[in-house]
Structure formats: structure tokens, C-alpha cells
Amino acid sequence: MMERLNRSAGFAALFVALLALVLAVTVPAVAQKSTAKKKPRKAATVTLVRGKIPARFLPTAPRAKRADRLGADGATAESLKGSCAPDTVDLGTWCLSSALYPLQDDEVGKNDYLFATQKCVDLGGWLPTAAQLVGAAPRVKLASTIDDSRLTATVDLDASDGMKDRREMSSTLITTAAGASAAGSQGVTDGSKGDPKTGEPDPVTLPANPLPETLQYVTVYDNKDKGGFAGAKPVSAPESFRCAYAKVEGAEAREIG
């Protein structure tokens, strides 16, 4: 009986020894393999540009990521790019009315230089210069002579009040005489006093001349898409005009008149 027990104990001891040997060989190999998988990659070499790290290698900060989109609706800068209203012509960085300003019945005869400049401002724009109008001639139907093409210019088609060549006002001003007074004068108001500390005498009262005949605006015409100058008119004289506008985001139809 004792011999049989000793023999079983010997087999058990042998089994334990073999198991210990297998574990001793297997576990280090698995651990070494796992460690090899986690071996860090070799770092990439970054070449400095003018002593700085290129932007593509730098992470984007959280706030900068949010700054790429604007407003509560997350609009992009491209979507906010300005555009022209449907009743104007897109001329790159600005817009020009496709038609002359339509005078109301109570405005006829009042459309002098002051009226035109103020009306354009009221509409959100400005009275264009002669250079801007001439530059736009190939793309905008400017006022022109009766022999010009109605497809490319604004010509007089109503024979009920005569057939006449047309031109339009610009914001460009010239003077037809020498001296500062050629550009107007505010005059001297009655009751003005000189400086008593310096013994200055009271100035002589003079009438104002805010719209002198010698201060005139340059007019232009389409001239078969080439653009041309059509002389000048006193700032107090009425003339047809159109307005220019800056591009705006989400431009819609503008009410004119």
C-alpha cells in the first residue's frame, strides 16, 4: 500500500515539475513578443522653415477650431462673402445700378448734384465718379446718344417729348474759373464779430454762394461701350444719375425710388 502511494506521489511531483518548466519557457516568450509590439516608432524629422515649425505640424487649438466658423449658425467666411443686389451689376469689389434712378413726379427738375449725392447715400450707396462710370461702360448700359445700341446703352426711345442724346452725372467736380470762390463760398453771416483781444475788426457781411456756376460736375456717356466724356454742368443743374454700392452679405433686391 505504501509503495503504491509513493509511486503516485512521484508521478504528481514529476507533473508539477514539467508544468513549471513549460510555464518558465512560455511566459517570457509571450511577454517579449508583447513588448516588441509596443516598441515606439522612430520620430519623424521636421525641417524648420525660417526657424519656425511649419503650421501643418502644429495641432489646432479648440478655440481656433471654433473660430474657423463664424456666428451662431456656424457660417463660414466664404458663405459671408459679399454680393450685389439683383438690380445692380457686379463689378468685382463693388456694384453699380443697372438702370438710371427713376425720378418720382415730385422729384423732376430737382435732381441736381446735391439731390443725387444725398439720394444715393439714402439708398445705402454713393454717386459714382467719372472714372468708375467710364470703366463700367462695357458692362453697364450707360446713358448715350440716339444712334447707340439699345442693347448695350440707355437711349431715348420716347418720341413724344422729342428724341435727344443722353448723358449722366458723375461725382467728379471741376471749376471753370480760377480762385477759391470758384468752388463756392459760405459767405459771412450778418452779426459776425471780430476778435476783440487782437483788435480784429468786424467782418463785412457777404452772401453765401453754395452752388456757384463755376463749380461743375463731369458728365459721361456710353459711347458704344467705350465710355466718353460729355462735358460738365453746374452743380445746380439737374441731370440723370445712377448709384454705386458696396457688396453686402446676403444682398437682396433694393427698393429704388
Task: Give the model confidence (pLDDT) of 117-135 as tens digits.
Answer: 999 999 999 999 999 999 9
Residue 158 banded pLDDT, cuts 50, 70, 90 = confident
- pLDDT score recorded for residue 159: 86
**Is 78's pLDDT higher than 60?**
no
CA distances from 67 to 5, 63, 70 (A): 83, 6, 6
| Residue pair 132/244 in contact by the 8 Å Cβ criterion | yes
The pLDDT of 6-15, averaged and rounded, is 58
Region at 231 (left for phi over 0; alpha for psi -120 to 50; beta for the rest) = left
The pLDDT of 190-201, averaged and rounded, is 96
- pLDDT score recorded for residue 253: 47
- Distance, in Å, from the CA atom of 170 to the CA atom of 221, rounded to the nearest integer, reads 10
Residue 208 banded pLDDT, cuts 50, 70, 90 = very high
CA distances from 26 to 12, 35, 122, 157 (A): 21, 14, 89, 103
| Residue pair 119/245 in contact by the 8 Å Cβ criterion | no
The pLDDT of 36-42, averaged and rounded, is 57
Phi and psi angles of residue 3, each rounded to the nearest 5 degrees, phi first: -65, -40
CA angle 58, 60, 64 (to 5 degrees): 140
- 168-175 and 244-246 beta bridge pairing: unpaired
Place of cell 503504491: 4
pTM of the model: 0.68
User: Dihedral of CA 7/8/9/11: which sign?
Assistant: positive
